[in-house]
Amino acid sequence: MAEPFAAVDVIRTKRDGGRLTDAQIDWVVDAYTRGVVAEEQMAALAMAILLRDMDGDEIARWTAAMINSGETLHLDVERPTVDKHSTGGVGDKITLVLAPLVAACGAAVPQLSGRGLGHTGGTLDKLEAIPGWRADLTTAEMCEQLTDVGAVVAAASTALAPADRKLYALRDVTGTVESIPLIASSIMSKKIAAGPRSLVLDVKVGSGAFMKTRENAVELARTMIGIGNSHGVATSAVLTDMSRPLGLTAGNAVEVAEAVDVLRGGGPPDVVELTLVLAREMLALAGISDVDPAKVLASGKAYESWCAMIRAQGGDPDARLPEPTHRHVVEAERDGVLAELDALAVGMAAWRLGAGRSAPGEPVQYAAGVRLLARLGERVAAGQPLAELHTDTPDAVPAAVAALSGGVRIADTAPEPGPLVLDVLR
């Protein structure tokens, strides 16, 4: 059977600034998934999209075509379902606290998460530091856990949006990752295919985020909100600062421990603040207005949900977390105020220590990471410990120290830190 379009004609349309028709989009995504459109042809189209952009209708249709390339989940759950997605950052352990908290408030949170790459940590890598915990669940297992516990964090099935999986790998090696239409449709195709009724996006901006400028972060957030709403998923976005790391840890087991501290009523104030902002937004979209997540967190019910969630996936919430075989303390070089603690530098240090990976499929060290011992704006003395580096490969320490030192600045005075939550977009 003859193909209805030629790939080169679709490429030329976008190359010359034209608008792709619905039929062209449906065909090219399907044909690429089937292998009819060659890798070099899709690479050319991706570059044309990056340079020429797409309008809102094109982006929505492109997203729909990627969703339709595979299966979609139909979650048979009585509770209202609401998901959260973060565009990635350093020390971003929010999902670990947020999912059980929102579940304890009465919603169901079907969180399909990923693994880390480079300086950005992955939620699954963190949870797999817990002995016995498993990420791969069937749809039936997810629905049962959502009914019984209210929260599940699992790996996305390869059957969800396979076109996106294939296109993402291509974009990574062809210089087209930065296209906002392709970023937005990549994220939203997987999230919509997972079947939630509503979705809150945590869009990071700053040195440790993918989006370095507020302007680009807002554009990405509004694009994703438009996609979600056009597909019947109520969507909002919280714009948050990622110029500094979130909390006092970056890595795997160290972030799990910090998340548990928050669930038990402690933890760093910024982690608590962002968790509650996102929880309130998720509950609002889920139609739950009579529950205060701050009171639920303080009551210990969220910690109970965490323990139930971990046990349901084979983990032991009481088990001892992995400990590193080597620790190295980084000390302050002079008296003064910790004026800068760059998120990217901390993330790169954690990656160098083994907490992250350079390519998909590489193993990570669950005990690797950075524990910060001083807060931004704190007065420190020469020789005072600023950070503790954890690793099982001592040879990695010099590179990690070099990465971290580039983002730490001690001065006589320090500016007041800006707000963590920059805006809420609906």
Q: Which residues are catalytic?
A: 85, 164, 171, 186, 190
103, with CB counted inside 10 A (0-12, 13-18, 19+), is buried
Residue 318: other Cβ atoms inside 10 A:
10
Both tokens of residue 21? 């028709």
Q: Quick check: 176 and 14 in contact, CB under 8 A?
A: no
Q: How far apart are CA 47 and CA 228, in angstroms?
A: 24
Under 8 Å between Cβ of 83 and 190: no
| Ramachandran angles phi, psi of 86, nearest 5° | -105, 140
Encoding tokens for residue 388?
A: 């503790």
Alpha helices in 93-244 (DSSP H): 94-104, 123-127, 139-148, 162-172, 180-193, 214-230
Q: Give the length of the chain.
A: 426
| 112 beta partners | 154
